[in-house]
Amino acid sequence: MDDKIKALLDELVIANHVLANEKVVDSFGHISVRNPENSEHYFLSCSRSPEIVCCEDIMEFDLEGNSVDGSTLRPYGERFIHGAILESRPEIQSVVHNHSLSVIPFGVTNTPLKPIIHTGAAIGRDIPIWDIYDNFGDTDLLVRNMEQGRDLASTLGGASVVLMRGHGCSVVGSSIKEATLTAVYLQISATVQLQSIPLGNVRYLTPGETEECTNMFYSDLSVDRAWENLTARVK
């Protein structure tokens, strides 16, 4: 393994710990990163909780979810979320799947999740909700194959976040850091919105603000500062 890949996998492990420490994932949830040397492959932990993932747990998959590194570890049953989204969105390098408690209410009601604070703008203005029931009827709600993964990716479309009814959400980014930070601030934004709605007459960000705040949020200045802080907490 070359140094670049080694550093990327180290970052993926840290991202697992950050997501757990910020309570974005609990015993479940996962984060992947595309192989920068082979865009048809991605890296993802074996079936283990993010809080305790270590370097030895990282597996490599093709976009269909087949292990390609000869590993005999047990993969996540829902790895198809990652492959299908990476397949449909070439510009995306990293995918977070999680069950943030403050986000789930917006997937099971008719109340749209919307940008309400500048640090949460990156979630976007039109956040789709994927209901697995629509095309697959009664299931265990898990994304268990590529057909379901592609259906999810289709609902995600060009958005940054897709809510999954009764389940959680998936968040994408052009890097591990972006996907992680967007998932962290998605949770924060949803918390603020849950607290604001009972007060009535909520003013959300305008379309122009959402765009400008997203650019700001993804600037090196902002990403580096937050990343330095969140990783310091788990070291």
Per-residue b/e over 47-59, b at no fewer than 16 CB within 10 Å?
ebebeebeeebbb
Q: Please, what sign has the CA dihedral across residues 97, 101, 102, 105?
A: positive
| Member of 74, 126, 147, 158 binding a second copy (CB under 8 A) | 74
Rule CB under 8 A: is residue 73 a binding residue for a second copy?
no
Closest CA to 80 of 38, 7, 142: 142
Sheet order of strands, 161-164 included: 58-62, 38-45, 30-35, 94-98, 168-173, 161-164, 129-130
- For tokens 């479309």, the residue is 157
The alpha-helical segments, DSSP class H, found in 22-145 are: 80-88, 105-108, 132-136
3-state secondary structure of 89: coil
| Member of 5, 40, 49, 71 binding a second copy (CB under 8 A) | 49
Closest separation between CB of residue 35 and a second copy, Å?
A: 25
Backbone angles phi, psi at 34, to 5 degrees: -70, 145
Rule CB under 8 A: is residue 232 a binding residue for a second copy?
yes
Is 228 catalytic? The answer is no
Q: Which tokens is 193 given?
A: 């919105």
3-state secondary structure of 85: helix
Rule CB under 8 A: is residue 212 a binding residue for a second copy?
yes
Rule CB under 8 A: is residue 56 a binding residue for a second copy?
no
Rule CB under 8 A: is residue 229 a binding residue for a second copy?
yes
Rule CB under 8 A: is residue 141 a binding residue for a second copy?
yes
Stretch that binds a second copy, among 5-13, 57-65, 80-88, 189-197 (CB under 8 A): 189-197
Q: Which is nearer to a second copy, 89 or 130 (CB)?
A: 130
Q: Which is nearer to a second copy, 3 or 138 (CB)?
A: 138
Q: What is the biggest distance separating any 2 CA atoms in the chain, rounded to whole angstroms?
A: 56
| Member of 65, 167, 169, 173 binding a second copy (CB under 8 A) | 167
| Member of 5, 68, 73, 142 binding a second copy (CB under 8 A) | 142
Residues sharing a CB contact under 8 Å with residue 138, sequence separation 6 or more, in sequence order: none
From the candidates 11, 78, 87, 178, which is the catalytic residue? 78
Rule CB under 8 A: is residue 201 a binding residue for a second copy?
yes
Rule CB under 8 A: is residue 55 a binding residue for a second copy?
no
Question: Which residues carry out catalysis?
Answer: 78
Contact set with a second copy (CB under 8 A): 26-28, 47-49, 51-52, 74, 77, 99, 101-102, 104-106, 108-111, 116-119, 133, 137-142, 165-168, 188, 191-192, 194-209, 211-213, 215-216, 221-222, 225-226, 228-230, 232-233
